[in-house]
Amino acid sequence: MVEIRVVLPQHLRTLARVGPEVMVDVREPATVSAVLDALEAAYPVLRGTIRDHGTLKRRPFLRFFACEEDLSLLPYETPLPPAVCAREEPFYVIGAIAGGER
């Protein structure tokens, strides 16, 4: 297992009743899929909010960033960057900017 720092958007922090950053134990190899599995296992209320319950597809207005890279469009089994696995950098779940509501 490897510890991964995860930063959640504000609404999901409120929902999970956590602060800006959480630490989750992720099975190895640590991938995008593995970190999402671990996050949902630790905070079941987040199931369905980041990826669809049934299809497990990423919700369209969410993105996954790490080490200044966008991991959102990469396969779920893409390994996380070494700096994330070393806890030097967090894995970010980002809500898309959508301030255009008039």
Partner 1 sequence: MSGVRVLVGTRKGAFVLSADGTRKDWDIQGPFFGGWEVYHLKGSPVDPNRIYASQGSGWFGQLMQRSNDGGRTWEAVDKTFAYAGETGTHEWYDGTPHPWEFKRVWHLEPSLTDPDVVYAGVEDAALFRTTDGGQSWHELPGLRTHGSGSHWAPGAGGLCVHTVILDPVNAGRMFVAISAAGAFRSDDGGQSWKAINRGLRSNHIPDPDAEVGHCVHHVAQHRARPDVLFMQKHWDVMRSDDAGEHWVEVSGNLPTDFGFPIDIHAHEPDTVYVVPIKSDSEHYPPDGKLRVYRSRTGGNEWEPLTRGLPQQNCYVNVLRDAMAVDTLDSCGIYFGTTGGQVYASADAGDTWSAIARDLPPVLSVEVQTLEG
Assess 11 for contact with partner 1 (CB under 8 A): yes
Residue where the block lists tokens 């030097």 = 88
Assess 98 for contact with partner 1 (CB under 8 A): yes
> Is 21 in contact with 90 (CB distance < 8 Å)?
yes
Give the end-to-end CA distance of the chain in Å, rounded to a whole number: 46
Assess 6 for contact with partner 1 (CB under 8 A): no
Q: Please pick, from the candidates 50, 66, 71, 80, the single residue that binds partner 1 as defined by CB under 8 A.
A: 50
Give the residue with the Cβ less far from partner 1, 2 or 51. 51
Assess 59 for contact with partner 1 (CB under 8 A): yes
